[in-house]
Structure 1
Amino acid sequence: MADFTEANRKYFDQKAAAYKTDFAEVTNRLSKEIGDHRHWVSSKWSDTEAGKGQEIKLLEYACGPGTASLTLEPFVTKIVGLDISDKMIDEFNKNAREAGVSPERMIGLKGDLLAETLPEHLSGPSFFDFNIVVVSFALHHFADPELALKRLGDRLKKGGVCLIVDFVPEHGHHHGHDEIHQHNPEAAATIKKHGFTRDEMQKLYEDAGLGAGFDFKAMEEPVEFTAKDRRLKKKMFIARGERL
Protein backbone atom coordinates (compact mmCIF):
# COMPACT_ATOMS: atom_id res chain seq x y z
CA MET A 1 0.00 0.00 0.00
CA ALA A 2 2.87 2.36 0.87
CA ASP A 3 4.49 1.70 -2.56
CA PHE A 4 1.20 2.40 -4.32
CA THR A 5 0.78 5.66 -2.37
CA GLU A 6 4.34 6.64 -3.28
CA ALA A 7 3.68 5.95 -7.00
CA ASN A 8 0.66 8.27 -6.79
CA ARG A 9 2.60 10.95 -4.93
CA LYS A 10 5.39 10.99 -7.54
CA TYR A 11 2.98 10.94 -10.47
CA PHE A 12 0.89 13.85 -9.16
CA ASP A 13 3.96 15.82 -8.12
CA GLN A 14 5.02 15.67 -11.79
CA LYS A 15 1.55 16.54 -13.07
CA ALA A 16 0.76 19.34 -10.61
CA ALA A 17 2.03 22.46 -12.40
CA ALA A 18 0.27 21.68 -15.70
CA TYR A 19 -2.77 19.87 -14.27
CA LYS A 20 -5.15 22.80 -14.50
CA THR A 21 -4.27 23.35 -18.18
CA ASP A 22 -3.89 19.70 -19.23
CA PHE A 23 -7.16 18.64 -17.62
CA ALA A 24 -9.12 21.87 -18.12
CA GLU A 25 -12.04 20.01 -19.71
CA VAL A 26 -12.30 17.67 -16.74
CA THR A 27 -11.98 20.39 -14.11
CA ASN A 28 -14.53 22.62 -15.90
CA ARG A 29 -17.00 19.77 -16.09
CA LEU A 30 -16.39 18.87 -12.45
CA SER A 31 -17.03 22.45 -11.39
CA LYS A 32 -20.24 22.59 -13.43
CA GLU A 33 -21.66 19.30 -12.08
CA ILE A 34 -20.84 20.13 -8.45
CA GLY A 35 -22.33 23.60 -8.85
CA ASP A 36 -25.46 22.26 -10.54
CA HIS A 37 -25.95 19.55 -7.89
CA ARG A 38 -25.13 21.64 -4.83
CA HIS A 39 -28.64 21.56 -3.38
CA TRP A 40 -28.91 17.83 -4.11
CA VAL A 41 -25.67 17.31 -2.15
CA SER A 42 -26.84 19.25 0.91
CA SER A 43 -29.46 21.75 2.02
CA LYS A 44 -26.94 23.38 4.38
CA TRP A 45 -25.02 26.23 2.73
CA SER A 46 -24.29 29.77 3.82
CA ASP A 47 -26.97 31.05 1.40
CA THR A 48 -29.77 28.62 2.41
CA GLU A 49 -32.26 28.70 5.29
CA ALA A 50 -30.82 25.49 6.74
CA GLY A 51 -27.26 26.85 6.84
CA LYS A 52 -27.48 30.62 7.23
CA GLY A 53 -25.31 32.02 10.02
CA GLN A 54 -23.76 28.63 10.83
CA GLU A 55 -20.20 27.42 10.51
CA ILE A 56 -20.01 25.13 7.47
CA LYS A 57 -16.70 23.30 7.17
CA LEU A 58 -15.60 21.46 4.04
CA LEU A 59 -12.76 18.95 3.67
CA GLU A 60 -11.53 18.15 0.17
CA TYR A 61 -9.42 15.01 0.30
CA ALA A 62 -6.92 14.23 -2.49
CA CYS A 63 -7.73 17.84 -3.30
CA GLY A 64 -5.35 18.35 -6.23
CA PRO A 65 -5.63 21.93 -7.49
CA GLY A 66 -8.85 22.51 -5.52
CA THR A 67 -11.51 22.58 -8.24
CA ALA A 68 -14.32 21.31 -5.99
CA SER A 69 -13.23 23.57 -3.12
CA LEU A 70 -13.21 26.72 -5.24
CA THR A 71 -16.62 25.85 -6.69
CA LEU A 72 -18.15 25.50 -3.21
CA GLU A 73 -16.09 28.18 -1.43
CA PRO A 74 -18.72 30.96 -1.70
CA PHE A 75 -21.23 28.76 0.19
CA VAL A 76 -19.11 27.52 3.12
CA THR A 77 -17.18 29.19 5.92
CA LYS A 78 -13.95 27.15 6.04
CA ILE A 79 -12.13 24.76 3.69
CA VAL A 80 -9.26 22.36 4.36
CA GLY A 81 -7.63 20.63 1.40
CA LEU A 82 -5.47 17.55 2.01
CA ASP A 83 -3.27 15.79 -0.54
CA ILE A 84 -0.23 13.49 -0.44
CA SER A 85 1.49 15.56 -3.15
CA ASP A 86 3.39 18.67 -1.98
CA LYS A 87 3.20 20.16 -5.43
CA MET A 88 -0.58 19.71 -5.67
CA ILE A 89 -0.90 21.47 -2.30
CA ASP A 90 1.19 24.33 -3.72
CA GLU A 91 -1.25 24.55 -6.65
CA PHE A 92 -4.27 24.40 -4.32
CA ASN A 93 -2.97 27.30 -2.23
CA LYS A 94 -1.85 29.30 -5.28
CA ASN A 95 -5.30 28.89 -6.90
CA ALA A 96 -7.05 29.91 -3.67
CA ARG A 97 -4.91 33.06 -3.32
CA GLU A 98 -5.38 33.94 -7.01
CA ALA A 99 -9.14 33.67 -6.45
CA GLY A 100 -8.81 36.15 -3.56
CA VAL A 101 -9.54 33.60 -0.82
CA SER A 102 -7.56 34.03 2.39
CA PRO A 103 -5.56 31.21 4.06
CA GLU A 104 -7.81 31.54 7.13
CA ARG A 105 -10.76 30.57 4.96
CA MET A 106 -9.17 28.05 2.58
CA ILE A 107 -5.91 26.20 3.24
CA GLY A 108 -4.22 23.22 1.61
CA LEU A 109 -1.98 20.95 3.70
CA LYS A 110 -0.02 17.79 3.04
CA GLY A 111 -1.65 14.78 4.65
CA ASP A 112 -2.34 11.09 4.11
CA LEU A 113 -5.55 9.95 5.80
CA LEU A 114 -5.02 6.45 4.43
CA ALA A 115 -1.66 5.80 6.07
CA GLU A 116 -1.46 2.71 8.28
CA THR A 117 -0.66 4.95 11.21
CA LEU A 118 -2.46 8.28 11.02
CA PRO A 119 -0.08 11.25 11.10
CA GLU A 120 -0.11 13.09 14.43
CA HIS A 121 -0.73 16.48 12.81
CA LEU A 122 -4.11 15.29 11.49
CA SER A 123 -5.48 14.40 14.92
CA GLY A 124 -6.34 17.95 16.07
CA PRO A 125 -9.93 19.25 16.29
CA SER A 126 -9.55 21.35 13.13
CA PHE A 127 -9.44 18.08 11.13
CA PHE A 128 -12.78 16.77 12.43
CA ASP A 129 -16.46 17.75 12.50
CA PHE A 130 -16.76 18.66 8.84
CA ASN A 131 -20.18 19.26 7.30
CA ILE A 132 -18.99 18.07 3.90
CA VAL A 133 -16.17 15.84 2.68
CA VAL A 134 -15.47 15.84 -1.07
CA VAL A 135 -13.37 13.41 -3.11
CA SER A 136 -13.36 14.07 -6.85
CA PHE A 137 -11.79 11.79 -9.46
CA ALA A 138 -9.48 10.31 -6.82
CA LEU A 139 -11.26 7.26 -5.38
CA HIS A 140 -9.97 5.08 -8.26
CA HIS A 141 -6.41 5.99 -7.18
CA PHE A 142 -6.87 4.78 -3.59
CA ALA A 143 -5.36 1.41 -2.66
CA ASP A 144 -8.23 0.70 -0.25
CA PRO A 145 -11.52 2.52 -1.04
CA GLU A 146 -13.29 0.82 1.93
CA LEU A 147 -10.74 2.21 4.37
CA ALA A 148 -10.90 5.58 2.61
CA LEU A 149 -14.65 5.97 3.16
CA LYS A 150 -14.39 4.86 6.79
CA ARG A 151 -11.57 7.32 7.51
CA LEU A 152 -13.38 10.13 5.71
CA GLY A 153 -16.61 9.30 7.53
CA ASP A 154 -14.77 9.66 10.85
CA ARG A 155 -14.05 13.27 9.93
CA LEU A 156 -17.71 14.16 9.35
CA LYS A 157 -20.23 15.49 11.82
CA LYS A 158 -23.31 13.39 12.40
CA GLY A 159 -25.54 14.23 9.43
CA GLY A 160 -22.53 15.50 7.47
CA VAL A 161 -22.35 14.61 3.78
CA CYS A 162 -19.70 12.64 1.89
CA LEU A 163 -19.66 13.64 -1.80
CA ILE A 164 -17.76 11.49 -4.29
CA VAL A 165 -17.30 12.16 -7.99
CA ASP A 166 -15.64 9.44 -10.06
CA PHE A 167 -16.02 7.27 -13.15
CA VAL A 168 -18.55 4.60 -14.04
CA PRO A 169 -16.92 1.35 -15.26
CA GLU A 170 -16.70 0.86 -19.02
CA HIS A 171 -19.06 -1.69 -20.55
CA GLY A 172 -17.66 -4.57 -22.53
CA HIS A 173 -13.95 -5.16 -22.65
CA HIS A 174 -12.55 -2.45 -20.37
CA HIS A 175 -11.77 -0.43 -23.47
CA GLY A 176 -10.71 2.77 -21.66
CA HIS A 177 -8.77 0.75 -19.10
CA ASP A 178 -6.78 -1.03 -21.82
CA GLU A 179 -6.10 2.26 -23.58
CA ILE A 180 -4.70 3.80 -20.43
CA HIS A 181 -2.46 0.77 -19.79
CA GLN A 182 -1.26 0.73 -23.37
CA HIS A 183 -0.66 4.42 -23.93
CA ASN A 184 0.03 5.73 -20.45
CA PRO A 185 1.61 3.04 -18.24
CA GLU A 186 2.74 5.74 -15.76
CA ALA A 187 -0.88 6.72 -15.11
CA ALA A 188 -2.00 3.06 -15.13
CA ALA A 189 0.40 2.32 -12.26
CA THR A 190 -1.51 4.78 -10.05
CA ILE A 191 -5.00 3.39 -10.73
CA LYS A 192 -6.46 0.71 -8.49
CA LYS A 193 -9.93 0.30 -10.00
CA HIS A 194 -11.47 1.39 -13.28
CA GLY A 195 -14.68 2.93 -12.04
CA PHE A 196 -17.46 2.06 -9.60
CA THR A 197 -21.05 0.91 -10.12
CA ARG A 198 -23.99 2.24 -8.14
CA ASP A 199 -24.14 -1.00 -6.10
CA GLU A 200 -20.43 -0.85 -5.30
CA MET A 201 -20.72 2.75 -4.16
CA GLN A 202 -23.80 2.02 -2.06
CA LYS A 203 -21.95 -0.81 -0.30
CA LEU A 204 -18.90 1.41 0.32
CA TYR A 205 -21.11 4.13 1.82
CA GLU A 206 -23.16 1.73 3.95
CA ASP A 207 -20.12 -0.15 5.26
CA ALA A 208 -18.61 3.19 6.32
CA GLY A 209 -21.77 4.27 8.19
CA LEU A 210 -22.52 6.85 5.50
CA GLY A 211 -25.57 5.22 3.95
CA ALA A 212 -28.23 7.68 5.13
CA GLY A 213 -29.85 9.42 2.16
CA PHE A 214 -27.52 7.62 -0.25
CA ASP A 215 -27.99 8.68 -3.86
CA PHE A 216 -26.00 8.13 -7.04
CA LYS A 217 -26.34 9.87 -10.39
CA ALA A 218 -24.53 8.72 -13.51
CA MET A 219 -24.11 11.56 -15.98
CA GLU A 220 -25.36 10.91 -19.49
CA GLU A 221 -22.75 13.01 -21.22
CA PRO A 222 -19.22 11.62 -20.91
CA VAL A 223 -16.20 13.62 -19.82
CA GLU A 224 -13.70 14.02 -22.64
CA PHE A 225 -10.01 14.59 -22.12
CA THR A 226 -6.67 14.11 -23.84
CA ALA A 227 -4.11 11.72 -22.37
CA LYS A 228 -0.80 11.28 -24.17
CA ASP A 229 -2.29 12.81 -27.35
CA ARG A 230 -5.28 10.45 -27.35
CA ARG A 231 -8.88 11.55 -26.83
CA LEU A 232 -10.60 9.53 -24.14
CA LYS A 233 -14.27 9.59 -23.15
CA LYS A 234 -15.38 8.39 -19.74
CA LYS A 235 -18.74 8.50 -17.99
CA MET A 236 -18.78 10.09 -14.58
CA PHE A 237 -21.03 9.77 -11.56
CA ILE A 238 -21.75 11.86 -8.51
CA ALA A 239 -22.70 10.14 -5.22
CA ARG A 240 -23.73 11.37 -1.78
CA GLY A 241 -24.53 9.88 1.61
CA GLU A 242 -24.73 11.15 5.19
CA ARG A 243 -23.05 10.03 8.36
CA LEU A 244 -25.51 8.18 10.59
Structure 2
Amino acid sequence: MNNYNEVKKSFGTQAEKFASYHMSKAEYTDYLIRSIQAKGNEHALEVAAGTCICGRAVAPYVKDITCLDLTEAMLEQGKKLAKQEGIQNISFVSGNAECLPFEDETFDLVITRLSLHHFVDPEKPFREMQRVLKKGGKLVIWDMVATTEELRETNDAIETMRDNSHTRILSREEFEALFEDAFELQLEETTLVPVNLQSWMDLTSTPEDIQKDIIDKMEYDLNGGDKTGFNPYIKEGQICFDHRWLLLIGKKEN
Protein backbone atom coordinates (compact mmCIF):
# COMPACT_ATOMS: atom_id res chain seq x y z
CA MET A 1 0.00 0.00 0.00
CA ASN A 2 1.30 3.48 -0.86
CA ASN A 3 0.00 6.97 -1.53
CA TYR A 4 2.20 7.92 -4.51
CA ASN A 5 -0.71 9.27 -6.56
CA GLU A 6 -1.87 11.53 -3.71
CA VAL A 7 1.68 12.81 -3.24
CA LYS A 8 2.16 13.57 -6.94
CA LYS A 9 -1.21 15.28 -7.20
CA SER A 10 -0.75 17.33 -4.04
CA PHE A 11 2.80 18.47 -4.71
CA GLY A 12 2.21 18.98 -8.41
CA THR A 13 -0.38 21.56 -7.37
CA GLN A 14 1.93 23.09 -4.76
CA ALA A 15 5.10 23.36 -6.87
CA GLU A 16 5.25 27.10 -7.63
CA LYS A 17 3.66 28.24 -4.37
CA PHE A 18 5.80 25.84 -2.32
CA ALA A 19 9.04 27.70 -2.96
CA SER A 20 7.65 31.17 -2.36
CA TYR A 21 5.81 30.05 0.80
CA HIS A 22 9.07 28.88 2.34
CA MET A 23 11.19 31.85 1.19
CA SER A 24 10.40 33.63 4.47
CA LYS A 25 11.92 30.75 6.42
CA ALA A 26 15.57 31.39 5.49
CA GLU A 27 16.42 31.43 9.20
CA TYR A 28 15.48 27.75 9.35
CA THR A 29 17.74 26.69 6.48
CA ASP A 30 20.54 28.76 8.07
CA TYR A 31 19.92 26.83 11.28
CA LEU A 32 20.11 23.57 9.32
CA ILE A 33 23.44 24.54 7.73
CA ARG A 34 24.94 25.43 11.11
CA SER A 35 23.73 22.16 12.58
CA ILE A 36 25.10 19.94 9.79
CA GLN A 37 28.63 21.37 10.04
CA ALA A 38 29.61 20.22 6.56
CA LYS A 39 33.34 20.04 5.77
CA GLY A 40 32.97 20.96 2.10
CA ASN A 41 34.03 17.65 0.54
CA GLU A 42 30.72 15.78 0.93
CA HIS A 43 28.75 14.09 -1.82
CA ALA A 44 25.26 14.93 -0.55
CA LEU A 45 21.73 13.79 -1.30
CA GLU A 46 18.37 15.38 -0.51
CA VAL A 47 15.53 12.85 -0.52
CA ALA A 48 11.90 13.81 -1.19
CA ALA A 49 13.46 17.17 -1.98
CA GLY A 50 10.45 18.99 -3.39
CA THR A 51 11.80 22.25 -4.85
CA CYS A 52 15.15 21.42 -3.24
CA ILE A 53 14.95 24.06 -0.51
CA CYS A 54 17.55 22.28 1.62
CA GLY A 55 19.63 21.14 -1.34
CA ARG A 56 19.95 24.66 -2.71
CA ALA A 57 20.79 26.02 0.74
CA VAL A 58 23.41 23.35 1.48
CA ALA A 59 25.01 23.35 -2.00
CA PRO A 60 27.63 26.06 -1.25
CA TYR A 61 28.89 24.05 1.71
CA VAL A 62 29.39 20.61 0.06
CA LYS A 63 31.23 19.22 -2.97
CA ASP A 64 28.00 18.37 -4.78
CA ILE A 65 24.37 17.59 -4.03
CA THR A 66 21.73 15.45 -5.73
CA CYS A 67 18.06 16.27 -5.20
CA LEU A 68 15.56 13.44 -5.64
CA ASP A 69 11.79 13.73 -5.70
CA LEU A 70 8.78 11.79 -6.97
CA THR A 71 7.05 14.86 -8.41
CA GLU A 72 8.49 16.23 -11.68
CA ALA A 73 6.81 19.62 -11.25
CA MET A 74 8.62 20.13 -7.95
CA LEU A 75 12.00 19.25 -9.47
CA GLU A 76 11.40 21.56 -12.43
CA GLN A 77 10.75 24.42 -10.03
CA GLY A 78 13.90 23.48 -8.12
CA LYS A 79 15.96 23.51 -11.33
CA LYS A 80 14.58 26.93 -12.25
CA LEU A 81 15.43 28.37 -8.84
CA ALA A 82 18.91 26.78 -8.76
CA LYS A 83 19.66 28.35 -12.14
CA GLN A 84 18.47 31.75 -10.92
CA GLU A 85 20.69 31.39 -7.85
CA GLY A 86 23.72 30.38 -9.93
CA ILE A 87 24.15 26.99 -8.23
CA GLN A 88 26.27 24.69 -10.38
CA ASN A 89 27.09 21.73 -8.12
CA ILE A 90 23.50 20.47 -7.99
CA SER A 91 21.74 17.72 -9.95
CA PHE A 92 18.14 16.54 -10.04
CA VAL A 93 16.78 12.99 -10.18
CA SER A 94 13.18 11.85 -10.47
CA GLY A 95 12.74 8.87 -8.21
CA ASN A 96 11.06 7.06 -5.35
CA ALA A 97 12.42 7.48 -1.83
CA GLU A 98 11.38 3.92 -1.02
CA CYS A 99 13.64 2.55 -3.77
CA LEU A 100 16.53 4.96 -4.25
CA PRO A 101 18.33 4.58 -7.61
CA PHE A 102 21.82 4.67 -6.09
CA GLU A 103 24.45 2.13 -5.06
CA ASP A 104 25.08 1.27 -1.43
CA GLU A 105 27.24 3.76 0.48
CA THR A 106 27.29 6.43 -2.23
CA PHE A 107 26.82 9.60 -0.16
CA ASP A 108 28.55 11.27 2.78
CA LEU A 109 25.47 13.29 3.74
CA VAL A 110 21.77 12.49 3.29
CA ILE A 111 19.03 14.98 4.14
CA THR A 112 15.25 14.84 4.12
CA ARG A 113 12.90 17.55 5.33
CA LEU A 114 9.15 17.41 6.02
CA SER A 115 8.82 14.11 4.18
CA LEU A 116 8.34 11.13 6.50
CA HIS A 117 4.79 12.13 7.47
CA HIS A 118 3.81 11.51 3.82
CA PHE A 119 4.84 7.83 3.87
CA VAL A 120 2.54 4.97 4.85
CA ASP A 121 5.60 3.15 6.20
CA PRO A 122 8.30 5.74 7.02
CA GLU A 123 10.80 3.02 7.86
CA LYS A 124 11.10 2.14 4.13
CA PRO A 125 12.56 5.47 2.99
CA PHE A 126 14.59 5.68 6.21
CA ARG A 127 16.27 2.32 5.52
CA GLU A 128 16.92 3.34 1.91
CA MET A 129 18.63 6.52 3.10
CA GLN A 130 20.64 4.42 5.52
CA ARG A 131 21.64 2.07 2.70
CA VAL A 132 23.01 4.76 0.36
CA LEU A 133 24.85 6.59 3.16
CA LYS A 134 28.52 5.80 3.70
CA LYS A 135 29.72 4.50 7.06
CA GLY A 136 30.62 7.53 9.15
CA GLY A 137 28.28 9.71 7.07
CA LYS A 138 25.50 11.90 8.45
CA LEU A 139 21.78 11.34 8.08
CA VAL A 140 19.66 14.43 8.67
CA ILE A 141 15.93 14.12 9.32
CA TRP A 142 13.90 17.29 9.83
CA ASP A 143 10.19 16.76 10.20
CA MET A 144 7.08 17.58 12.14
CA VAL A 145 6.81 15.78 15.46
CA ALA A 146 3.62 14.90 17.29
CA THR A 147 2.63 17.14 20.19
CA THR A 148 0.77 14.80 22.56
CA GLU A 149 -0.21 11.20 21.98
CA GLU A 150 -3.83 11.77 23.01
CA LEU A 151 -4.30 14.47 20.35
CA ARG A 152 -2.21 12.92 17.57
CA GLU A 153 -5.18 11.30 15.82
CA THR A 154 -7.10 14.61 15.77
CA ASN A 155 -4.00 16.47 14.61
CA ASP A 156 -3.41 13.98 11.79
CA ALA A 157 -7.07 14.15 10.74
CA ILE A 158 -6.88 17.92 10.25
CA GLU A 159 -3.53 17.65 8.44
CA THR A 160 -5.12 15.11 6.07
CA MET A 161 -8.19 17.31 5.52
CA ARG A 162 -5.86 20.05 4.36
CA ASP A 163 -3.54 17.73 2.34
CA ASN A 164 -4.62 14.16 1.62
CA SER A 165 -1.04 13.09 0.93
CA HIS A 166 -0.42 13.39 4.68
CA THR A 167 -0.39 10.05 6.50
CA ARG A 168 0.83 10.29 10.09
CA ILE A 169 3.05 12.50 12.25
CA LEU A 170 5.68 10.49 14.11
CA SER A 171 6.42 10.89 17.80
CA ARG A 172 9.88 11.75 19.11
CA GLU A 173 10.19 8.15 20.34
CA GLU A 174 9.38 6.77 16.89
CA PHE A 175 12.02 8.96 15.26
CA GLU A 176 14.59 7.88 17.85
CA ALA A 177 13.72 4.21 17.24
CA LEU A 178 14.53 4.57 13.53
CA PHE A 179 18.07 5.72 14.37
CA GLU A 180 18.56 3.25 17.19
CA ASP A 181 20.14 0.26 15.40
CA ALA A 182 22.74 1.81 13.10
CA PHE A 183 23.35 5.41 14.13
CA GLU A 184 24.92 7.50 16.84
CA LEU A 185 22.55 10.41 17.39
CA GLN A 186 24.60 13.62 17.42
CA LEU A 187 21.80 16.17 17.57
CA GLU A 188 18.12 16.16 18.52
CA GLU A 189 16.42 19.56 18.74
CA THR A 190 12.87 20.85 18.45
CA THR A 191 12.02 24.18 16.80
CA LEU A 192 8.66 25.94 16.88
CA VAL A 193 7.74 27.26 13.42
CA PRO A 194 4.93 29.88 13.34
CA VAL A 195 2.31 29.16 10.67
CA ASN A 196 -0.53 31.35 9.41
CA LEU A 197 -3.57 29.10 9.06
CA GLN A 198 -4.92 30.71 5.88
CA SER A 199 -1.54 30.69 4.11
CA TRP A 200 -1.06 27.06 5.14
CA MET A 201 -4.37 26.05 3.52
CA ASP A 202 -3.78 28.22 0.45
CA LEU A 203 -0.49 26.41 -0.20
CA THR A 204 -2.32 23.13 -0.83
CA SER A 205 -5.31 24.75 -2.59
CA THR A 206 -7.57 23.26 0.07
CA PRO A 207 -11.22 23.46 -1.14
CA GLU A 208 -13.23 26.26 0.47
CA ASP A 209 -15.70 23.96 2.22
CA ILE A 210 -12.85 22.05 3.85
CA GLN A 211 -11.11 25.30 4.74
CA LYS A 212 -14.27 26.40 6.52
CA ASP A 213 -14.44 23.13 8.44
CA ILE A 214 -10.80 23.48 9.55
CA ILE A 215 -11.32 27.10 10.57
CA ASP A 216 -14.41 26.10 12.57
CA LYS A 217 -12.40 23.46 14.43
CA MET A 218 -9.62 25.94 15.20
CA GLU A 219 -12.06 28.61 16.39
CA TYR A 220 -13.84 26.07 18.60
CA ASP A 221 -10.45 25.13 20.10
CA LEU A 222 -9.65 28.83 20.65
CA ASN A 223 -12.96 29.29 22.47
CA GLY A 224 -12.39 26.44 24.89
CA GLY A 225 -13.95 23.62 22.87
CA ASP A 226 -12.45 20.34 21.67
CA LYS A 227 -8.69 20.50 21.30
CA THR A 228 -7.17 20.13 17.83
CA GLY A 229 -3.57 19.48 18.86
CA PHE A 230 -2.51 22.64 17.00
CA ASN A 231 -2.69 25.03 19.97
CA PRO A 232 -4.02 27.86 17.77
CA TYR A 233 -3.68 31.53 18.69
CA ILE A 234 -4.58 34.89 17.19
CA LYS A 235 -1.86 37.11 15.72
CA GLU A 236 -2.66 40.37 13.96
CA GLY A 237 -6.30 39.31 13.76
CA GLN A 238 -5.58 35.97 12.06
CA ILE A 239 -5.50 32.38 13.30
CA CYS A 240 -1.99 30.99 13.62
CA PHE A 241 -0.35 27.96 15.19
CA ASP A 242 3.16 26.63 15.77
CA HIS A 243 4.38 23.53 13.97
CA ARG A 244 6.91 21.54 16.00
CA TRP A 245 9.86 20.53 13.81
CA LEU A 246 12.28 17.94 15.14
CA LEU A 247 15.83 17.95 13.76
CA LEU A 248 17.79 14.74 14.19
CA ILE A 249 21.33 14.20 12.92
CA GLY A 250 22.82 10.74 13.19
CA LYS A 251 26.26 9.40 12.29
CA LYS A 252 26.15 6.00 10.60
CA GLU A 253 28.14 3.54 12.62
CA ASN A 254 30.88 1.40 11.10
TM-score of the two chains, using structure 2 as the length reference = 0.76
Aligned to 1:20: 19
Q: Does 1:241 align with 2:219?
A: no
Looking at structure 2, the residues matched to 156 and 143 of structure 1 have their Cα atoms a distance apart, in angstroms, of: 22
Q: Does 1:162 align with 2:139?
A: yes
Deviates more, 1:170-179 or 1:148-157: 170-179
* AA of the residue aligned to 1:216: E
Q: Shift of the alpha carbon at 1:213?
A: 3.5
Distance 1:141 1:237, change over 3 A: same
Indicate conservation of the 8 Å contact 2:134/2:252, yes or no: yes
Looking at structure 1, the residues matched to 50 and 171 of structure 2 have their Cα atoms a distance apart, in angstroms, of: 21
Q: Could you give the per-residue CA deviations for residues 114-136 of structure 1, whole angstroms, max 9, x where no partner exists?
A: 14xx6xxx24x5x8521110000
Aligned to 2:219: none
Which segments of 5 or more consecutive residues in structure 1 lack a partner in the other structure?
Answer: 47-54
Looking at structure 2, the residues matched to 113 and 138 of structure 1 have their Cα atoms a distance apart, in angstroms, of: 10
Match of 2:31 among 22, 33, 40: 33
Looking at structure 1, the residues matched to 178 and 32 of structure 2 have their Cα atoms a distance apart, in angstroms, of: 21
Q: Does 1:193 align with 2:177?
A: no
Match of 1:66 among 49, 52, 71: 52
Looking at structure 2, the residues matched to 64 and 74 of structure 1 have their Cα atoms a distance apart, in angstroms, of: 19
* AA of the residue aligned to 1:77: K
Matching of residues 181-220 of structure 1 within 5 Å:
181-182=160-161, 184=162, 187=163, 189-197=164-172, 199-207=173-181, 209=182, 211-219=183-191
- Structure ID, larger Rg: 2
Aligned residues: 213
Which segments of 5 or more consecutive residues in structure 2 lack a partner in the other structure?
Answer: 203-238
Aligned to 1:100: 86
| Runs of 4+ with deviation above 6 angstroms | none
Looking at structure 2, the residues matched to 128 and 107 of structure 1 have their Cα atoms a distance apart, in angstroms, of: 18
Aligned to 1:222: 193
* AA of the residue aligned to 1:179: I
- Three-state SS of the structure 1 residue aligned to 2:151 is coil
Q: Shift of the alpha carbon at 1:223?
A: 3.5
Q: Shift of the alpha carbon at 1:24?
A: 3.5
* AA of the residue aligned to 2:175: M
Indicate conservation of the 8 Å contact 2:110/2:139, yes or no: yes
* RMSD over aligned Cα atoms: 2.2
Q: Could you give the per-residue CA deviations for residues 146-205 of structure 1, whole angstroms, max 9, x where no partner exists?
A: 1111110111111001001011212352464343345x2xx0x211212431x2112111
